[in-house]
Amino acid sequence: MSEDNRYDFSKIFNKVRPIHDRLTDDLIKNTPDEDVTQLIIDSIQFNSKNKSYGEIYAGLTSGQKIIYSIYILETKIFNGGFGGFYFNTECELNQFLEPNLIAIGAKSVADIVRRANEVCESILADQAEPDKFYPLDKEFYEVIEVDRLEARRVTYIREYREQFISA
């Protein structure tokens, strides 16, 4: 690539978002929809260094648990499918995902997660191969848009804002 055609990555890397260890009602209320989930996740992760997914989850409010578990599910699946999700989280969040997805109204995604949990149990019992996740990965990618997963997260955060305010 010639010097003239190089992209100036400093435009991306020099744009740093603020990380808040404490969240206020005004901060949540005034954060744009496209940034509010990340605001919540950043605060959770800032206050949970060196903890496992299960340890983090156990210390959260009910609203934080819902947003955190769904966010972790989505990011891990985009990074390595359901197999990557279960491997990277050591199956610490499985049991919570289906009810948490239902709580925000993402019933189609909850159904996929229920079936993926069944496949995971079969794999752990040596009764299935990891490639059984592939059709569920594909279905997940299609359904999250239809089920409007991000919009549902934002709606939940806005509706139950008090569950995300730091004590």
The backbone torsions φ and ψ at residue 93, rounded to the nearest 5 degrees and listed phi first, read -110, -5
pLDDT tens-digit readout, 110-135:
999 999 999 988 887 776 677 888 99
How far apart, in whole angstroms, are the C-alpha atoms of residue 85 and residue 92? 10
Please name the amino acid found at residue 133: F
Q: pLDDT value at position 90?
A: 86
Whether the pLDDT of residue 33 is over 70: the answer is yes
Long-range contacts of 128-137 (CB under 8 A, 24+ apart): 130/83, 133/81, 133/82, 133/83, 134/81, 136/82, 136/112, 137/77, 137/81, 137/82
Domains of the chain plus CATH, in order, are 21-164 (1.20.1420.60)
User: What confidence tier does 1 reach under pLDDT thresholds 50, 70, 90?
Assistant: very low
In the predicted model, what is the mean pLDDT of residues 32-49? 94
In the predicted model, what is the mean pLDDT of residues 58-74? 96
